[in-house]
Amino acid sequence: MRIRARSISGMLALSFCCTGMTGQLFAQAAGDQRSIEDQVPSVDRAASQEARDELTLARNALAKAQANSMSMVRVAEIQFKNTDGYKSAQIEFQMARSRFYAMQKPVLDALREDEEYAKLNNDRDSARLTIDRLVESQKADYIALLPLAKQAMEAKRRMTRAEVIALALDPEVETARQELMEANTRLRSMNANARRSAVGSQMVKIAGADLTSARVRVEEANRLLADSLTQEAEADRIRDLRIQSLRNGQQLVLPDEAVVKPAKPAKPQNKPKGANEADKGNDDQDD
C-alpha cells in the first residue's frame, strides 16, 4: 500500500511538473509572438483620422451653407414683397375676396328662407344629433349608424347643390367671383416674380456659390477618406505578411521594398551587309 501511494504521489508530481512546463512553453510562445509583432512598426492611421476630421468640418460647413442659402432666398422674397407693386396686388386680392363674400351673404340668407332648403337642413341636423346620442350612449353599431350617415350626407349634398345654383344665377355674385379670380391670378404671378427675383439677386447668387463650394469640399473629403482607408488596408496587409514571414524565419520581399532586377543582355547590333565576309577574310589572313 505504501509503495502504491508513493507511485501515485510521484505520478501527480510529474503531472504537475509537466503542466507547469506546458504553461511556461505557452507563455514563452505568446511572448515570442508579441515580440515578433513588436518588431514590425504599427500602421500609421493619422491620415484617415485627419480625413475624418476634415469630413466632419466639411459637412458642418455644408449645413451652414444650405441654411444661409435658404435664408437669403427668404430675405430676397421679403424685399420683393415689400415693393409697392406687390403690396397693391395683395390689397386688390383681399378687397376682391371681401366683396365676393359680401355678395354671397344676401343670396344665401334668402336661400335659407326656402322651405325645401330648410327641410334639408333640418334632416341633416336631425341625423347628426341622433348619431351623437347613439355614440354617447355606447349603443352605436354599423347597422344603426349607416342609414343616419347616409341621410346626413344626402341632405348636405342637396343643400350644396342648391347653394351653387343660387350663387351662379346671381349676376352680382358672378361679377364678384370673376374679379376675385383675376386678382388671385395677378397675386400668384407676383409671387412667381418674387421667387424669380430672389433667385437672381446678388446675395442669393453668392450664397449659392458658397453652397456649391461646400458640396465640393464634402465630395473631396469623402474621396480623401476613402483613399486613406485603402492605403491603411494595404499597409495592414503588408504588415501581416511581414509578421508571418518573421514567424516562419523567412526573408520577405515586400511590394514597397526596392527590387533590383538583373540587367538584360545587350542585343547584338546589326552589321552592314558584307561585313561578315570581310571579317572572315581577315581571319584567313591571320591564319
pTM: 0.48
Residue 249 has pLDDT above 70, yes or no: yes
List, as own/partner pairs, every contact residues 147-150 make where C-beta atoms lie below 8 angstroms and the sequence separation is at least 24, other chains included: none
Euclidean distance between CA atoms 198 and 258, whole angstroms: 61
- The residue among 166, 175, 129, 172 whose CA lies nearest residue 148 is 129
Q: What is the residue-averaged pLDDT of the chain?
A: 79
- The residue among 220, 91, 106, 111 whose CA lies nearest residue 172 is 106
Domain boundaries, the chain: 46-225
Residue 260 has pLDDT above 80, yes or no: no
Evaluated on CA atoms 44, 45, 48, 52, the torsion sign reads negative
- Write the pLDDT tens digit of every residue in 54-107: 999 999 999 999 999 888 888 888 888 888 888 899 999 999 999 999 999 999
Are residues 191 and 89 in contact, defined by beta-carbon separation less than 8 angstroms?
Answer: no
- Write the pLDDT tens digit of every residue in 198-222: 777 888 888 889 999 999 999 999 9
Residue 164 has pLDDT above 70, yes or no: yes
Helices (H) and strands (E) counted in the chain, each on its own, are 8, 0
Euclidean distance between CA atoms 156 and 111, whole angstroms: 14
Euclidean distance between CA atoms 228 and 129, whole angstroms: 73
